[in-house]
Amino acid sequence: MKILIKSATIIAPSSKYHNKTLDILIENGTIKAIEKNISLTENTQEVTYQNLHLSLGWIDSSVSFGEPGYEDRETLYNGMQTAAKSGYTSIGLNATSHPAPDTGSSISYLKNKTHLFGVELFPIGNLTKNGAGKDLAELYDMQQHGAISFYDYKQPIQNPNLLKLALQYTQGFNGLIQSFPQENAIARTACVNENISSTNAGLSGIPNLAEELQIARDLYILKYTGGKLHIPTISTASSVNLIKQAKLEGLDVSCSVAIANLYYTDKEIIGFDSAYKILPPLRTEEDRLALLAGIKDGTIDMVTTDHFPTTIEEKKVEFEQANYGSIGLECAFGILNKLVGTEKAIDLLTKGRTRFGITEPKLEVGEKAEISLFSPTENYTFTPENILSSSKNTIFKDEKLTGKAIGIFANNSLTLN
Q: Model confidence over 227-239: pLDDT tens digits?
A: 999 999 999 999 9
Q: 60 and 49 share a domain?
A: no
Claim to verify: residue 194 and residue 319 sit in the same structural domain: yes
- Residue finishing a domain among 356, 373, 395: 356
For 46-79, the pLDDT digits (tens) are 999 999 999 999 999 999 999 999 999 999 999 9
Is residue 281 within 8 A of residue 206, CB to CB? The reply is yes
Mean pLDDT of 272-287: 97
Q: Are 48 and 169 contained in the same domain?
A: no
User: pLDDT per residue over 346-401, tens digit each?
Assistant: 999 999 999 999 999 999 999 999 999 999 999 999 999 999 999 999 999 999 99
Got the DSSP string for 79-139? Answer: HHHHHHHTTEEEEEEPS-SSS---SHHHHHHHHHHHTTSSSEEEE-B-SBGGG-SSSB--H
Q: Which of 152, 287, 306, 347 is catalytic?
A: 306
Q: Considering only CA atoms, which of 139, 44, 5 is closest in space to residue 409?
A: 5
| pTM confidence score | 0.97
Task: Quickly count: other Cβ atoms within 10 Å of residue 367's Cβ.
Answer: 11
Task: Write the CATH number for 286.
Answer: 3.20.20.140
Asked if residue 67 and residue 208 are part of one domain, the reply reads: yes
Q: Where residue 83 falls among pLDDT bands split at 50, 70, 90?
A: very high
Element (H, E) at 288: helix 285-297
CATH of the domain at 14: 2.30.40.10
265 and 387 part of one domain: no
Tens of pLDDT, residues 39-52: 999 899 999 999 99
Q: Report the domain count for the chain.
A: 2
Domain termination residue (choose one: 338, 356, 374) = 356
Q: How confident is the model over 296-327, as pLDDT tens digits? A: 999 999 999 999 999 999 999 999 999 999 99
Q: Are residues 118 and 141 in the same domain?
A: yes
- Contact yes or no for 177/229 (Cβ under 8 A): yes
> Among 340, 356, 372, which residue terminates a domain?
356
Residues 351 and 390 in one domain: no
Residue 228 and residue 351 in one domain? yes
Query: Do 337 and 410 lie in a common domain?
Result: no
**Residue 18 confidence class, pLDDT cut points 50, 70, 90:** very high
| pLDDT at 142 exceeding the cut of 90 | yes
Using pLDDT thresholds of 50, 70 and 90, give the confidence band for residue 99.
very high
User: Exposure pattern of 242-263 as b/e (b: 16+ CB <10 Å)?
Assistant: bbbebbeeebbbbbbbbbbbbb
pLDDT at 1 over 90: no
Identify whether residues 120 and 230 lie together within a single domain. yes
Q: Is 306 a catalytic residue?
A: yes
Lowest mean pLDDT: which of 87-91, 196-200, 240-244? Answer: 196-200
Residue 409 predicted with pLDDT over 90: yes
Closest CA to 302 of 337, 342, 249, 259: 259
Question: Is there a single domain that holds both residue 30 and residue 73?
Answer: no
Instruction: Looking at the structure, tell me whether residues 266 and 313 fall in a common domain.
Output: yes
Give the structural domain span for 161.
Answer: 54-356
